[in-house]
Amino acid sequence: MLTVELALAGLGVGAIAALAAVGMITSYRATGVFNLSFGALAMIVAYLVWQQVRVWGWPLWAAVLLDVGVVAPALGLVLERFVFRGLHREGAGPARMLVASLGVFVLLVGAATLAWGTQARLDPPSIVPAGSVGLPGDTSVAKGTLVELGVVAAVAVLVAVVTRFTRFGVRLRAVVDRRALAELSGVPADRVAATGWAFGSMLAGLTGVLLAPHLRLDPYGLTLLVLETIGVAVVARLASLPVAILAALAIGVGQSELSRLEPDSWELIQALQANLFVVVMLVALLVLPRMVEVGGPDPARAVGARIGTGHGESAPVGWWVPFVAVAAAPLALGAEHLRVAQQVPAMAIVFVSLVMLTGYAGQISLGQAGFAGLGALFAAQLASRDVPALLALFLAAFLVVPVGLLTGWPAIRRRGLTLALTTFAVAAVVSRFVFAQPRFTTGLTLDHPWPFDGERSFYALELLCLVLVLLVVRRLHVSRLGRMLVAVRDHERGAAAAGVDVASAKVFVFAVGAGVAGLGGALLGMGGRAFDAAAFDPVLGLVWFAAVVVFGVDSAAGAVLAAGLVVALDAATTAGMSTIVIGGLAVLLSRMPGGVPATLLRLAAGPAPVPAAPPPPVRLGPLGRTLRERVRAGRAEVGG
């Protein structure tokens, strides 16, 4: 039975989630991009208001009007013009759109960290009145909750009126769904899209200003909270604002009511209460039908479509020689530097699994960090039970395969954004309910396997595993099964019409990809000689996916380069620098078709050769015209 006091407290949590979800859905419907950087935009605006009010002494109303009404829309205009307009014009698929928004997310979080540090600010200004309103029965509800619910309702009504009953709403839907056709109809697509981005960013700024007083203001707290409320948007199928509001309020009340069950004595209930939004996201993605995604089913926008180098260049002869030299170089380093270098082959294996899934099969997976973490956890569990560490390494990879099968089964009827969010939800649930639970991670031992217990011998084992994985991927790519996967990637319905068992192909590639990621995760754990849950955070998995796409989503060599860059930058500078660099490169994806390697190949090859001009038409003289008439007459007689 519901407790009124707890239910009213839950309404406050639900109002926060509803505000974030309404903003995300509205931004998605207005721009056609599921903006993973929505929370980062909210965080930046909240920080600006804090800086102006608490540090510079501005009036609160002036800071809010400036930041929400001017700065936030200006950020949206900048993103539309310099990040997403080029991607829209070239028909980029969901993978590159997600990576571009993730790049913005990383850059904004990095900028906030550099400007304000990681110290939490406990005094963000509030624009809602303090106090509470009394209700019958000696209960009360906070005024802030009522204001936030009113703002949510007002935004929902405004969006409904604009999109359904105005000419601009018709143009906006046309640009988002069919940009090329809208332009042919005379719609100023760029101007309409820019307006949509400005409005979506303004909602993000308003969300940040309203949410900040409820939280500690730091670069990650507010950003990650918005990511967790994706579940509310999923329940609404990214379409219905009333459903999103009701779902957020129901989840907030449910989360508050769970506190009556004395979670301190039951770890599962405690984890469920803290992560109810994540659980709802996964259940909704598995149970509900496909989300209402904007944009038409344009075959040119295949999720994992191969992106050529532009002029048909191929890699130079002997391109693999530098790889071998660089891979062998750490063997000459000291033990401390060699331990850092051991991360590269293990992480490269995880990255190659993403190439298999997204590059070859066209299935967006944002959950590889979960598979890698399970591989490390299974290896630690087996090694702690006296299983030989070398055997535990490969058994752990095989034990992750069934998890890939379970994830791949829902993927049979999913693609694009729905599949991406499903895999992210799986990784988040695994992280919160497995990696974060002491009963699964306490008392584990993990070390280098015998006879590779030395630093150099273990690094040699990692290189051997990486070579084996690359050979498997190469064989998969050139085999009949590989051609089937590419067919599914390029045109799923066409592949099914040609006799390809699409369902089996999807499940197979998910299972194999999970096993490969599990092998890489087990090697990461053995290299660190312990299981570290923070090394497999689901948000970190988003950065891994971005790195693979930036370096060529269909290039195994690019995945190895990406792993080397990530490890080298963090080791040579400060932890997290690789994330900022990857974010910057992701933002530039519209100017780097095919990623960094393809762009470098185009630059090395020089400008494309100008096609030869067609020969000028031949002008016949009197004799030529006479002969032509005689030939035509002869043909006519023969035809008769």
**CATH number of the domain where residue 68 is located:** 1.10.3470
Band (331; pLDDT cuts 50, 70, 90): low
Band (56; pLDDT cuts 50, 70, 90): very high
Which of residues 270, 287, 304 is at a domain's end?
Answer: 287
The answer on pLDDT for 441 being more than 60 is yes
- Could you give the C-alpha distances from 190 to 174, 186, 195, 521, 593, in angstroms and in order? 12, 12, 9, 44, 21
| pLDDT on residue 298 | 41
Q: Are residues 445 and 511 in the same domain?
A: yes
Q: At what angle do helices 368-384 and 389-411 cross, to 10 degrees?
A: 150
| pLDDT on residue 119 | 80
The answer on pLDDT for 241 being more than 90 is no
The domain tally of the chain equals 2
List the structure tokens of 483: 């051609």
Asked if the structure places residue 466 within a domain, the reply is yes
Its domain, for residue 456, covers 336-536
| pLDDT on residue 270 | 73
User: pLDDT over 70 for what percent of the chain?
Assistant: 84
For 206-224, b/e burial (b = at least 16 CB within 10 A) is bbbbbbbbbbebbbbebbb
Q: Are residues 343 and 454 in the same domain?
A: yes
Residue whose entry in the numeric block shows the structure tokens 């990461």: 524
List pLDDT tens digits, range 67-110: 999 999 999 999 988 888 887 777 776 667 777 888 898 888 87
The answer on pLDDT for 461 being more than 70 is yes
List pLDDT tens digits, range 404-419: 888 777 766 666 777 8
Q: Are residues 391 and 521 in the same domain?
A: yes
Asked if the structure places residue 608 within a domain, the reply is no
Which residue would you say has higher pLDDT here, 122 or 609? 122
| pLDDT on residue 47 | 93
Give residue 21's identity as a one-letter amino acid code: A
Which residue would you say has higher pLDDT here, 614 or 535? 535
Hey, which of 16-20, 60-64, 181-185 has the most confident mean pLDDT? 60-64
- Could you give the C-alpha distances from 505 to 256, 364, 517, in angstroms and in order? 43, 15, 18
User: Is residue 290 within 8 Å of 54, Cβ to Cβ?
Assistant: no
Band (636; pLDDT cuts 50, 70, 90): low
Lowest mean pLDDT among 311-320, 587-596, 620-629: 311-320
Is the full-model pTM beyond 0.85?
Answer: no
Helix (H, G, I), strand (E, B) or coil at 389: helix
Q: Are residues 277 and 342 in the same domain?
A: no
Which of residues 262, 287, 312 is at a domain's end?
Answer: 287
| pLDDT on residue 465 | 92
Q: Are residues 11 and 100 in the same domain?
A: yes
Which residue would you say has higher pLDDT here, 259 or 522? 522
Which residue would you say has higher pLDDT here, 526 or 106? 526
Q: Are residues 229 and 154 in the same domain?
A: yes
Residues in CB range of 541: below 8 A, 6 or more apart: 366, 367, 368, 369, 370, 424, 427
* Cross-strand partners of 134: 140
The CB-side HSE value for 419 (13 A sphere, CA atoms) comes to 25
Asked if the structure places residue 577 within a domain, the reply is no
Q: Are residues 356 and 430 in the same domain?
A: yes
Q: Are residues 43 and 177 in the same domain?
A: yes
Q: Are residues 275 and 344 in the same domain?
A: no
The answer on pLDDT for 322 being more than 70 is no
Q: Are residues 414 and 271 in the same domain?
A: no
Q: Are residues 117 and 15 in the same domain?
A: yes
User: Is residue 331 within 8 Å of 448, Cβ to Cβ?
Assistant: no
Residue whose entry in the numeric block shows the structure tokens 């030299």: 325
| pLDDT on residue 309 | 34
Asked if the structure places residue 620 within a domain, the reply is no
User: Is residue 399 within 8 Å of 463, Cβ to Cβ?
Assistant: no
DSSP state of 361: T
The answer on pLDDT for 360 being more than 90 is no
Lowest mean pLDDT among 48-62, 238-252, 280-294: 280-294
List pLDDT tens digits, range 141-190: 777 778 888 888 888 888 888 888 888 888 887 877 777 777 777 888 88
Averaged pLDDT for residues 426-440: 86
Band (289; pLDDT cuts 50, 70, 90): low
| pLDDT on residue 305 | 39
Averaged pLDDT for residues 511-528: 91
User: Is residue 393 within 8 Å of 375, Cβ to Cβ?
Assistant: no
- Could you give the C-alpha distances from 440 to 384, 443, 603, in angstroms and in order? 12, 9, 50
Asked if the structure places residue 14 within a domain, the reply is yes
Asked if the structure places residue 398 within a domain, the reply is yes
If residue 78 lies in a helix (H) or strand (E), which one and from where to where? Answer: helix 72-79
Asked if the structure places residue 558 within a domain, the reply is no
Q: Are residues 64 and 212 in the same domain?
A: yes
Asked if the structure places residue 308 within a domain, the reply is no
Which of residues 287, 304, 323 is at a domain's end?
Answer: 287
